[in-house]
Amino acid sequence: MQQPRDIPVLSVENLAISYETRRGDVRAVRDVSFEIQRGEAHSIVGESGCGKSTVAFGIVNFLGRNGKIVGGRILFQGRDLVGHSQEELRKLRGDRIAMVYQDPMQALNPSMRIGDQMAEVLIVHRGMSKEDARDRCIHMLEQVHMPDPANVMRRYPHQLSGGQQQRVVIAMALLNDPALLIMDEPTTALDVTVEATVLDLVAELQTKFDTAIMYISHNLGVVARVSDNVGVMYAGELVERATVANVYLRPGHPYTLGLMHCVPRLGMDKADSFLYPIRGRVPSPSNLPPGCVFEPRCDFGRPICRQKCPELREVEPAHWARCHFAEQVLAGELELSPDLVPDLEGLARRGDGAETVLSVEHARTYYEAPSKQLIGGEKQYVKAVDDVSVAARKGQTLGIVGESGCGKSTLVKTVIGLETPTGGDLEFMGMDISMPVSKRDLDLIKDMQMVFQNPDSTLNPSFSVGSQIGRPLRRFKTVPRNQVRAEVIRLLSMMRLGENYYDRLPRQLSGGEKQRVGIARAIAGRPELVLCDEPVSALDVSVQAAVLNLLLEVQKEMGTTMAFIAHDLSVVRFFCDTIAVMYLGQIVEFGPAEAIYAPPYHPYTEALLSAVPIPDPRMEQKHIRLSGAVPSALNPPSGCRFHTRCPRRHLLPDGGKICELEVPPWRHATDEHRIFCHIPLEDLRKMDKVVTIEEETHAG
């Protein structure tokens, strides 16, 4: 099976890569060393800008015009890649190293059929005949569990869903039986349930084809699921490297420790689960600290850390860390300072009698879709939101969770008036809000504001921070004109931003800072309700924690009610009081946060919980996967919309025939917790918890 002294498929030694820019050389990667054996899955995890993708590009020599390897070696099966000619590298890349990117359309030609593109790989590299190539492609598509491969071969990329495109790309990468497969965030753009199936596929391929996999990601949950070994990168350096269990449970570097503490975990209870953000920010490559690169942000820093840069050393067998005090970190002597966490006692929890601020009953928002016929023809509607009822109580947070296409964004846009509802009753503070924002009273507008998802587009690039926060103050006349500047500075300090931010332009700010300015702008007018549309999904993990804590503080201080949209169930649990789970325009489960994460579950909630990657190797998770894709909202399935994919249909007589025919009833597990399903409550209650910790199962 394996040769006794196996050559690692990939061996990276002290790699350093720099880019030439207008302002001189930028050292994007400064010292990275790791090894991957045949059949091993090795992840490189780190936040954006740490250089992990650059390492991958360096390996496949994809650095672009101005990138160059300035130090170290890359050995592929024992041979130094750096010395090869372009021609040799081209063959190697095609034959034995394959790469899969985050965006499948980077690898797919939109104007060629899938079958032609895949076969091309074989015909060019192996000189196969067209028929043989085609057969092999179909075989490979079956290996990646693509339904109806022959049909897929005839289609164009845009006719496939994101998950299917990614499967095709993986299949293409495997056609030449590569020894090394590099995957750069391949599932980041996919929905959680689809991501879970792709990750299963990767694990299966690893054993079947004995391929070495280098997996790059910023998502700690995904990394915990796929890897055998993990390397943690920070600011261009590899700071820790060990087995997945060690990295997650016994880290040897303060940065890794910090990362583990700022990631929300699904299994944790809410009240005593604080997120500890890592203070400070990543240094820019042109402005590195002397000595240890993490020292400015490290709670454990000592004078030696400022003077001398630590080496990556083996602190215990198969566990490397780049820290002068790695042994102490390993032994658990590093304590996180409590002042990183806001004091959250007294936060109004689900107080009885708290008034309802927002009430949505049977809301519907349909978009007209262009009819298929040129003239006349029946009108078709995209039923983005179809009979949704939710409520939010004063001072509490309502979470809305669902995958792409479920209608959560449309729901929020309808509430705030960027979309007009087609039907239903929407009330905010007792007043009707079923009209677009242009027709609303200024007072009403002032009391409902929104925080947006993308920090890069949430601020107007042409105006300073101060003027943008000041605008709502002036418009809503929250304070007299001569006090606007003072108020802006007060808001900035609430966001932990100094007065010097007043005159800065958005392009001088980091992503987290921009998002904080966006929050300040939203709360400037002291609104009653703040809608947050995935406010942290585009941020790095360590920054997410800071922003989430900030939102909690704001809520505490100002008593604001919040609605929080997310696709990540773990974030929502930490943050929300009540949660609504949406699927294809409808709410399938609604109730207090704790109730959602424990049985009884709606089958879709159960599948979502089983799919979320958990950043803790000890957690056992059920393995429920949904087949097929989300149906189109133009023509949703009859009866229960989830019936086409429901893994629990067999619990009902006749294989769940009723699910196709009738709209489900609401099952009320408690006064506050309801589930939209035909399956009777007793059966739903009998389901096991989706997530358990290993110790729990042993203790029983």
Our finding on whether 448 is near other proteins (CB under 8 A) is yes
Among 151, 207, 371, 460, binds other proteins (CB under 8 A): 460
Q: Does 336 bind other proteins (CB under 8 A)?
A: no
Q: Does 449 bind other proteins (CB under 8 A)?
A: yes
Q: Which of 338, 376, 461, 480 binds other proteins (CB under 8 A)?
A: 461
Cβ 30 vs Cβ 10: under 8 Å: no
Query: Is 176 among the residues that bind other proteins (CB under 8 A)?
Result: yes
Q: Which is nearer to other proteins, 48 or 161 (CB)?
A: 48
203: contact with other proteins by CB under 8 A:
no
Burial call 134-169: b when 16+ CB within 10 Å, e when fewer: bebbbebbebbebeebeebbeeebeebebbbbbbbb
Strands 97-100 and 180-184, how do they pair?
A: parallel
Question: In this chain, which of 187, 211, 256, 621 binds other proteins, going by CB under 8 A?
Answer: 211
Candidates 120, 135, 200, 210: give the one binding other proteins (CB under 8 A): 210
Candidates 204, 368, 456, 694: give the one binding other proteins (CB under 8 A). 456
| Of positions 224, 230, 357, 450, contacts other proteins by CB under 8 A | 450
Given the rule CB under 8 A, which of 363-371, 462-470, 551-559, 567-575 is the region that contacts other proteins? 462-470
> What sign for the dihedral angle of Cα 642, 356, 555, 276?
negative
- Residue 526 Cβ, how far from other proteins at the closest point, in Å? 14
Specify the residue for token string 């087609």.
422
Q: What is the token pair recorded at 45?
A: 């995890």
Q: What is the footprint of other proteins within residues 218-237 (CB under 8 A)?
A: 218
Q: Are 237 and 293 in contact (CB under 8 A)?
A: yes
Q: Give least dist CB 483 to other proteins, A.
A: 19
Residue 417 binds to other proteins (criterion: CB under 8 A): yes
Q: Is 511 in the site for other proteins (CB under 8 A)?
A: yes
Q: Taking a C-beta distance cutoff of 8 angstroms, is the pair 197, 163 a contact?
A: yes
Does 534 interact with other proteins (rule: CB under 8 A)? no
Among 13, 25, 95, 120, binds other proteins (CB under 8 A): 95
Question: How far is residue 402's CA from residue 383's CA, in Å, rounded to a whole number?
Answer: 16
CA distance 8 to 31: 19
Min dist. Cβ of residue 513 to other proteins (A): 8
Tell me the H-state helices in 293-377.
303-307, 326-330
In whole angstroms, how close is the CB of 300 to other proteins at the nearest point?
A: 21
Q: How far is the CB of 480 from other proteins (least distance, A)?
A: 19
Measured between alpha carbons, how far is 126 from 243 in angstroms, rounded to an integer? 37
Kindly report the backbone phi and psi dihedral angles of residue 167, in degrees, each rounded to the nearest multiple of 5, phi listed first: -65, -40
Residue 80: phi and psi, rounded to 5, are -70, 120
Kindly state the smallest distance separating residue 403's Cβ from other proteins, in Å: 18
What's the closest the beta carbon of residue 194 comes to other proteins, in angstroms?
18
Distances in whole angstroms, Cα of residue 189 to Cα of each of 101, 291, 537: 10, 37, 11
Name the one range near other proteins by CB under 8 A: 90-98, 368-376, 484-492, 638-646: 90-98
Of residues 49-78, which lie at the interface with other proteins (CB under 8 A)? 49, 77-78
Residue from 114, 174, 543, 566 touching other proteins (CB under 8 A): that is: 543
β-pairing, 180-184 vs 212-217, is parallel
Q: Which residues, listed in sequence order, are joined to residue 41 by a DSSP beta bridge? A: 213
Q: What distance in Å separates the CA atoms of residue 49 and residue 30, rounded to the nearest whole number? A: 13
